[in-house]
Structure 1
Amino acid sequence: MNSSIESMALDVSDEEMLLFQQLFKHYIGLYLPFSKKALLCSRLSRRLGELGLSDLREYYTLISRPQEEAERQRAIDLITTNETYFFREQKHFDALRNDILPEMSARNELKIWSAASSTGEEAYSIAMLLDDCRAHHPWSIHASDISQRVLTFARRALYPMVRGEHIPKPYLSRYCLCGTGEYEGHFLIDQRIRKRVAFEQRNLLNLPMEMDEKFDVVFLRNVIIYFDFPTKVDVIQSVIRKIRPGGWLVVGHSESLHGMPLDLQMFAPSIYRRPV
């Protein structure tokens, strides 16, 4: 990396930070506070070096052009946080197994949406549980994310072995194939699970009208914390319209829907139901 580029980028001004803040808010709803200056610089400095740009202002000018959609998506991929792991927030999976699925037992086909799927761990965790609990009934998982980079990783379904430490041992042996040779130290999600999960890029700020199917359960975890309050309300209301009456919404444990005008009933902390 060009050290002069890195040091120059680290000296981002308030004016430049405001420009990026407004750009990311406009395109993906991300609220990037001034306290995240260091994150902005660390995520984008290498890309500036690759492009031979001298500062963040030049990069902003580039990605703000309407025709530079590909590079703007590259910036979005770099700036969005995608930390996740298998069976994260275990209580949600316990609720899915013990409370939600029994209520859905009479449904012919169960449809679940992992609406901020990142690198796929959440979607595949749900798939393992559904295959275990609903093996003789049809089900499908729609998984989406704003980042093309993480979706490519998710579709590959190949993970370092350390990423599987929270997978229950019976699931690890049943659904995860241990890599050998060049893939030693990795595991691959079994094909019969992979084929039940469809990954697609989706922007939660602009869900397409053609996405008219209704879901029984939507996982929208650890993403609305990056939005300001009005954007949170808009996103949640839009997602609720994709949930069938009587369906469920699961948000992250650290996320609150308090004070939002939503057509939801709380079932448990971070678990809500749309009235029938």
Structure 2
Amino acid sequence: MRALKLANFNAYLSFITKPGNELERQMAVDLLTTNETYFYREPKHFNFLQSVLAEWQGEKAPLIWSAACSSGEEPYTIAMLMAEAFGSRPWHILASDISMRMLESARTALYPLSRAKELPTSFLKKYCLKGHGDFEGYLLLEDKLKQRVQFAQRNLMEPQRLETKVDVIFLRNVLIYFDNKTKSQIINNLSRCLKPEGLLFIGHSESLHGISEQFTAIKPALYRYKGARA
């Protein structure tokens, strides 16, 4: 408001919703969104996913979507688990966020070492390059891993369209910020992209109780999709 010399929030809202001001609207989105994340966050989820991947019986590797990927630590952690399970076989991961600033950071895949404190040492050595000189205290993801993750901007409040339905969706620490009506809309939008019996991971402080009847709880913050309603 100060930079644009606008008198109040109503004037700012009017400004960013006018045609031609899309860049300013995106800046508002980037400034409003919360982006706290790090590698191997909530490790019980990744340990469970690792066991699922080890026992995977499908002809193709599972397709996983990190639906609110922030700066990329979550999808890259998933990519490490996929690389361990499927190696050079065909597989990829979908990752999306509403913030263009975060997506640009994710594609760069350069992170402070402090973000990798929870990452197993073997993964750190196998998939990360340690920074030197000007990049002391940073790590860079290897290109082979980066190439497996497809980033795109998505607004989860809008109906989602994917080329193919996914086996697993990570939507962690997103729903906590919304009221039940909005939560229900987001879950309904995402469930249309999930295969029957697919898995949905949410944050440990979140729940689908009273939000959706299309899922069955199987572990804390982990649900299985029943399929579309008849």
Length-normalised TM-score, structure 1: 0.77
Structure 1 or 2: more helix by fraction? 1
Matched, 1:219 2:139: no
Matched, 1:85 2:41: no
**How far is 1:229 from its partner?**
0.5
Out of 77-86 and 63-72, give the one that drifted further: 63-72
Give the match for residue 25 of structure 2: 72
Q: Check 1:63–1:119 CA distance in 2 against 1; reply closer, same or farther (3 A cut).
A: same
Distance 2:210 2:3 in 1: 45
Q: How many residues align?
A: 227
Give the match for residue 203 of structure 1: 155
Answer whether contact 2:61 2:86 (CA < 8 A) is retained: no
Provide Cα deviations, 1:67-103, integer angstroms capped at 9, x if missing partner: 32221111011011111111111110011012x2244
Answer whether contact 1:250 1:270 (CA < 8 A) is retained: yes
Distance 1:79 1:106 in 2: 40
Answer whether contact 1:205 1:235 (CA < 8 A) is retained: yes
Alignment partner for residue 182 of structure 1, among 134, 138, 141? Answer: 134
Out of 197-206 and 65-74, give the one that drifted further: 65-74
State the structure with more CA Rg: 1
Distance 2:55 2:226 in 1: 14
- SS of 1:51's equivalent in the other structure is coil
Matched, 1:232 2:198: no
> Could you say what the CA RMSD is over the residues aligned between the two structures, in angstroms?
1.7
Length-normalised TM-score, structure 2: 0.92
Matched, 1:104 2:56: yes
Distance 2:149 2:88 in 1: 17
Matched, 1:253 2:204: yes
User: Percent identity of the aligned residues?
Assistant: 46
Distance 2:213 2:22 in 1: 33
Give the match for residue 150 of structure 1: 102
Answer whether contact 2:187 2:212 (CA < 8 A) is retained: no
1:184 counterpart letter in structure 2:
E
1:202 counterpart letter in structure 2:
R
Distance 1:139 1:110 in 2: 8
Answer whether contact 1:237 1:262 (CA < 8 A) is retained: no
Give the match for residue 214 of structure 2: 263
